[in-house]
A and B are shown apart, each in its own frame.
Chain A
Amino acid sequence: MYTTELDKQPEKKNVTPIDGAEDPALVEAFEARVAADEFIEPKDWMPEAYRKTLVRQISQHAHSEIVGMLPEGNWITRAPNLRRKAILLAKVQDEGGHGLYLYCAAETLGTSREEMIEALHSGKAKYSTIFNYPTLTWADIAAIGWLVDGAAIMNQVPLQRTSYGPYARAMVRVCKEESFHQRQGYEAMMHLMAGTPEQKRMAQDAMNRWWWPSLMMFGPPDENSPNTERSMRWRIKRETNDELRQKFVDITVPQAEYIGLTVPDDALAWNEEKGGYDFGEIDWEEFYAVVRGEGPVAKERMKARRDAWDKGAWVREAADAHEAKKRAAAAA
C-alpha cells in the first residue's frame, strides 16, 4: 500500500560517503550497472549500504501492508451491505498478499522473515504513519481506498523500475492489484456524495481528516529527506517525495471537485505557470510525532497486530505438528 523511507527524526542533510571499506572496483562496476538501468539480482555483488537501504525500505513497505489490514479489517463486519463487504474482504486480503510479496523480496537480501516480524512487533521497525490515524466512520474506508491507496499508487508506479529486481517484480504485481483499491474507494465516496445530507457530511468529514495525512505519505520534503539523493543515484527511488506529492495533488483535486468534496486547504490554488496546484504548508511536526509512534492509535494498532500473531500461534503449531506426523509416518 505504501512506501517511503521513514526516520525517527528529520536528519540533517548528510550524504554518507560511500563505503570506504569496499573494493572501489566493485563499487564502480556496481554504480555503472545501476546507472545503465540494469537490474541488480539477489546474488550479485552490491554495496552494504545499498543492501541495508533496501532491507529497510522493503521491510517498512511490507510492514505497512500488514498493518494496513487493521484499520480496514475493523470495518468488515460493519460494511453497509454485502457488496461492500465482499469488496473490503478482497481488498484486505490483497494487502496481506502485498505484505507477503514484499517480505519475500526483502528475504532475498539475507534478512529472515522472523527477524522482520520480530522488529515490527517489538516496535523497532517503522511502518507508514497513515495507519496510526483512526477510522471513525464508513466514509473513512472510502477515503482510505481513494486517497491513501491513491497516494500509494503514485509512490509505487515508479518503483516497478527500481533497480533491485525482486523488489521491482513485487511492485509490478502490487500495482496491478492496487488500482482496484483506489477505484472502489472513490466509488464508495461517490455514493456517499450522492446520498443524504448526513452521508455527505460524513464523506466531507473523512476528506477533512485524511487529506493531510495522505499528503504526508510521500515523506518529508526533499530538502529534509536525507536518503533521497543516494537512493535516486542507486535507482532505488525514481522520483523525489515532492515531485510525487505534487502529482498526487494535481490529479486528486479534480476528482474531489467532481463529486462535490472540498479539499481542506485554503491555500489551494491552480498555478497556471507551473501547470499544477499550489497548496498549503504540511504540518511536519505532526508527521514526525506520528513517525515516533505518537499517532492517535499507534498503540492500539500494534496491540491488534501482536494479538493476531499470538492468536494464530495454534494454527502454526498445528501445521508443524501435521508435517512432523506425516514425516514420521513416511519414515516408518
Chain B
Amino acid sequence: MSGHDWPLWEVFVRAKGGLSHRHVGSVHAPDKEMALHHARDTYTRRLEGVSLWVVKSDDIIASDPDQAGPTFAPAEDKIYRHPTFYEIPDEVKHI
C-alpha cells in the first residue's frame, strides 16, 4: 500500500436461501476478488451465509439524511394506502 488505503467495499451476506442479502460491514481491498476473499474471512467464519456480495462503497448512491423529512414524510398523509384505513363490518370475514 503506497501511502493510501485500499478502496472500501460494502459487504452483503445472504444468511440462507430464501432471504435477501443483508449489509454486514465493509472491507478494504485493491480489487473485487480480494474484496470477496476478505469479506469471506472477515464476515463468514461461522456459517453466517451461503452467498456474498461486495460493492464498492463509492458506487452506492444514498439519500441525504438531512432531507429525510421531505423525502419520506409525504407517505404519512397518504394513510389510505394502509389496509387499516378502511372500516369493514366485523360480520364480513376473510378480508
Residues of A within 8 A of B (CB): 41, 43-45, 90, 93-94, 97, 100-101, 104, 107, 112-114, 169-170, 173, 177, 316-317, 319-320, 322-323, 326
Contact of A322 among B25, B30, B64 (CB under 8 A): B30
Given known pairs A43-B62, A43-B65, A101-B25, the reply for A322 and B31 (CB within 8 Å) is yes
Question: A107, B8: Cβ atoms under 8 Å?
Answer: yes
Question: A319, B34: Cβ atoms under 8 Å?
Answer: yes
Residues of B within 8 A of A (CB): 1-6, 8, 24-31, 34, 41-43, 45-46, 62, 64-66
Contact of A320 among B2, B41, B62 (CB under 8 A): B2
Question: B5, A104: Cβ atoms under 8 Å?
Answer: no
Instruction: Specify the main secondary structure of chain A where it touches its partner.
Output: helix
Q: Which residues of A contact B46 (CB under 8 A)?
A: 177
Question: B64, A43: Cβ atoms under 8 Å?
Answer: yes
Contact of A94 among B2, B6, B28, B45 (CB under 8 A): B45
Contact of A114 among B4, B25, B31, B66 (CB under 8 A): B4
Question: B28, A320: Cβ atoms under 8 Å?
Answer: no
Contact of A45 among B26, B43, B66 (CB under 8 A): B66
Q: How far is the CA of A208 from the CA of B35 in the complex (A)?
A: 44
List, sorted by A's number, 11 A–B pairs whose CB atoms are closer than 8 Å: A90-B45, A93-B45, A97-B42, A113-B28, A169-B25, A170-B25, A173-B25, A316-B1, A322-B31, A323-B34, A326-B31
Q: Which residue of B lies closest to A321 (CB)?
A: B30
Q: How far is the CA of A316 from the CA of B27 in the complex (A)?
A: 14
Q: How far is the CA of A140 from the CA of B25 in the complex (A)?
A: 33
Give the interface centre of B1, B2, B24, B46 by most chain A CB atoms within 10 Å: B1
Question: A323, B45: Cβ atoms under 8 Å?
Answer: no
Q: Which residues of A contact B6 (CB under 8 A)?
A: 319
Contact of A100 among B3, B5, B27, B62 (CB under 8 A): B27
How near does chain B come to A60, taking the closest CB pair, in angstroms?
19
